[in-house]
Structure 1
Amino acid sequence: MRGLRDVPRTVWLLAAGQFFNMVVAFTFVYFFVYLTDGRDLSVARAGLISGIGGAGMVAGNFTGGWFGDRYGHRRVLLAGSLISGLGVLALPVLPVALLYVVPTLSQYAGGCARAANGALVAVTVPKGGRRQAFAVTRFAANAGFTVGPPLGALLIAHVSYGCLFVVDGIGTLVFAAYAWRVLPAHGAARASTAAGPGPGVFAALRQRPTVLVLLGAILVTDLVYRQQYSTLPVDLDRHGLGTGVYGWLLAVNGGVILLLELPATLALRGRAPLRIIGAGLLLVGAGYAVLAVGTGVATAAAMMLLLTAGEILYKTPATAYVADHAPAHVQGRFQSLYSGVSVSGVVLSAPLGGALYTVAPGLLWPVCAVLAGVAGCVVLAAGRGRSRERAAVVAAGSPDPETGSPARSASG
């Protein structure tokens, strides 16, 4: 594909490493089950440990870019992967008291590494080519995650939980060594730290209101989107649809993303990003609106297809939009903000969705549909405002604020 030829070699190397890293990323999937089955902890205690770890991961996503802007994104990626790998490797021998601490530190380091990975792509690829670059790394991560959980299940069934975490930990350390070997020690990996002084991240955000709007919309949508991993299987079971149906729905989600996200990103790379993102958020809302009609095999399948289509449309363009509008000296912090809001649902979606479902199960899906729908409409409105602003600037004879050159259209 013509657009992929423009993706720099560094991004392809990062994507290859990310694929391998996700293949061995078992801990995230099986940690809760390990705590209840392998360590014989109560569900409440396992939930508390998992929740604290998830909060650490979200905090790492929010702060990793700050470290990257200050010390270099390559260094943060290497340090985060090293600490994360050692933490996972230690899990089988940790006393219960340390399970409240070490996994949290490990997940915090992993979150920092995730933010650094996004920042490395952003500083390596020039504006205009970031959508396809982020699509490549997302494709690699999704492909790896498709392979990883079944492989982890085989290790649990035929060896032990301990072996699972040893493989994960060693694999993460191997990824750190690989990244140290293939990523440039200078140049693009430190571009943001060499960009010189400029306004702070909050001042930069105030100058870019559409980025603030987008971050808020992604925060709301992620709370909705991740209901598929918490309240959805509960609701399916309540309506007589077992884990087999839920497993097939997740398989549909992963398969469609692997098949269509990269081609869709390439086909739409010249289109206005906020319109694409807004349409994607509306599709997420439409998916839950279908489920609000009734929970059955047909509506659940339609819901997952709409949700997947929405994910394909909004996730990669949103990541690239934030990168394209970040000043060079705070590129990492902008990526951290996006990374943080895009995984906030890991911590917040289950308790909030579970609480509403417990009180009024019939309200959950309509509320999800409304929240995602409103988020989509807000982003679309911001895109129209951006289009009018660009048209006015270009009509006045000034350079296009989106591209730095006269605009060919006012498509925001």
Structure 2
Amino acid sequence: MAQGLKDVPRTVWLLAAGVFVNAVVSFTFVFVFLYLTGPRGLGPAQAGVATGLGGIGLVAGNFTGGWYGDRFGHRRVLLAASTLGGLTLMTFPLLSTPLLYAALPLAQYASGVIRAANSALVAVTVPEGARRQAFAVVRCVSNGGFTLGPPLGALVATGLSYDWLFVGDGLGTLFFALWTARAVPARGAARTPSAAPVGGRGRGVLQELRARPAVLVLLGAILVTDLVYRQQYGTFPVFLADHGLDTRSFGFLIALNGAVILLLEIPAAVALSARPPLPVIGSGLVLVGAGYAALLLGVGVASAALMMVLLSLGEILYKTTATAYVADQAPDHAIGRFQSLYAGVSVSGVVLGPPLGGALYAAAPGLLWPLCAALAAGAGGAVLFAHQRSAHRRAEPQGRREGGGPEGGPAHETGSQPRAVAG
């Protein structure tokens, strides 16, 4: 495995160290609803509105972070968003309750920008051929931090107060800004801001996407799958409770998810690094569907554990590979915008998943899991079909293609062509 990670630059390892520390102290997202309904005295409906606004801010930040990076430089955007997010979080204990309705989406917006800018920064730092491994490293340490964070946050909230959660999260986010400033060089690691290639012949993002139909299919598939994937945090624990499994069972299953990812994310990325990405992604989406289909076997700890293992394996296959694939397919002048599009659709389920899943579970509980399984499997099938179409186009004689290069579809699905590291 070490041989497979040798192409991951030192800068990415340093950035991953900062991501780990920041993830450990990013525990407020777990406790924010309890904070609003507890110390702040809001009712469940009011707290739901506030957290919903925060979710909208998170998705908006993911959609726009890469666009800022293409314009101003990904390192600068990461530093600015980390500073804004950290300072905003630290002010939470001082704000009146009405102001929290504005501060929460602002903090979440900064968090979304950080996520998109971080992905774009990794993409422009790492050449094609090593991006899957690099993204796997960052995702693995991030998941490790999020695994440690909630129990630590519970100790802080019960031993000190909820206010210290926001202070700690804010300090961790500011530390990430300082660490990034030191670990990531100003020259050579952030893309030079640009609006289009030299000569003004660059195309807009929509044109670039239309020239890469497989990327469009992938984005649609991820949008659908994220709605399904996020049900594990919303309707799934309600389903468990309705069948006699308590909160401890749900905690065990979430811990199982983290353990599988920590153990297998990097080895899987290394082992599959030479495989074409779209079949790997499609297989991962199908596994997500298989996970929810496992709930049809009966309700119990065994079937729920099987569901979570399959879901985790699917996540390992599709999330890292899809992030790297979108980076590999992006034109040099729009790599941040491509990353933002992927980042945005990959968290869309945070906003859309709970209301849609909750409404369906309330109306027809027996339909939810078969529909989730079918949607994820269908999304995986669409990606696999897109791979077959791309392979067919590459096999056609050059003269029969509609203009070669990206216009005729992605020219290098495997991402094996070297891209100069941005300077």
TM-score range, shorter chain: over 0.9
Q: CA deviation at 1:299?
A: 1.0
Partner of 2:74: 73
Partner of 1:374: 378
1:175 and 2:186 matched: no
* Equivalent of 1:335 in 333, 339, 343: 339
Structure with the greater relative contact order (CA < 8 A, sep ≥ 6): 1 or 2? Answer: 2
Partner of 1:346: 350
Q: CA deviation at 1:38?
A: 1.6
**Any stretches of 5+ residues in structure 1 without a counterpart?**
408-412
TM-score w.r.t. the length of structure 1 is 0.95
Residue identity matched to 1:369: A
Q: Whole-Å Cα distance in 1 between the matches of residues 131 and 179 of structure 2?
A: 23
Contact 1:192 1:330 in 2 (8 A): no
Q: Whole-Å Cα distance in 2 between the matches of residues 2 and 334 of structure 1?
A: 29
- The worse-fitting range, judged by mean Cα deviation, of 66-75 and 394-403 is 394-403
Deviations 1:188-220 (A, max 9, x none): 312463854511111100000000000000000
Partner of 1:301: 305
Q: Whole-Å Cα distance in 2 between the matches of residues 378 and 269 of structure 1?
A: 22
Q: Whole-Å Cα distance in 1 between the matches of residues 414 and 339 of structure 2?
A: 22
Residue identity matched to 1:402: H
Q: Whole-Å Cα distance in 1 between the matches of residues 179 and 64 of structure 2?
A: 24
Partner of 1:230: 234
Contact 2:329 2:413 in 1 (8 A): no
Partner of 1:402: 412
Residue identity matched to 2:412: E
Partner of 1:410: none
TM-score w.r.t. the length of structure 2 is 0.93
Contact 2:33 2:51 in 1 (8 A): yes
Deviations 1:27-51 (A, max 9, x none): 1111111001121110000000000
Q: CA deviation at 1:394?
A: 7.8
Residue identity matched to 2:334: V
- The worse-fitting range, judged by mean Cα deviation, of 292-301 and 45-54 is 292-301
Contact 1:224 1:371 in 2 (8 A): yes
Deviations 1:294-335 (A, max 9, x none): 222111111111101100110000000000000010000000
Identity level (%): 62
Aligned pair in 2 of structure 1 residues 130, 394: CA closer, same or farther (>3 Å)?
farther
Q: CA deviation at 1:392?
A: 2.6
Deviations 1:81-129 (A, max 9, x none): 0111011101111111111101111111111111000000111111111
Aligned pair in 2 of structure 1 residues 291, 186: CA closer, same or farther (>3 Å)?
same
Secondary structure of the 2:238 match is: helix
**Any stretches of 5+ residues in structure 2 without a counterpart?**
418-423
Alignment of 1:145-294 (within 5 A): 145-191=146-192, 193=194, 196=198, 197=200, 198-294=202-298
Deviations 1:244-287 (A, max 9, x none): 11011001000010000100110000011100100000000011
Contact 1:192 1:331 in 2 (8 A): no
Aligned pair in 2 of structure 1 residues 306, 403: CA closer, same or farther (>3 Å)?
closer
Runs of 4+ in 1 over 3 A off after TM superposition: 191-197, 393-400, 403-407
Residue identity matched to 2:314: G
Partner of 1:94: 95
Contact 1:123 1:191 in 2 (8 A): no
Aligned pair in 2 of structure 1 residues 393, 16: CA closer, same or farther (>3 Å)?
farther
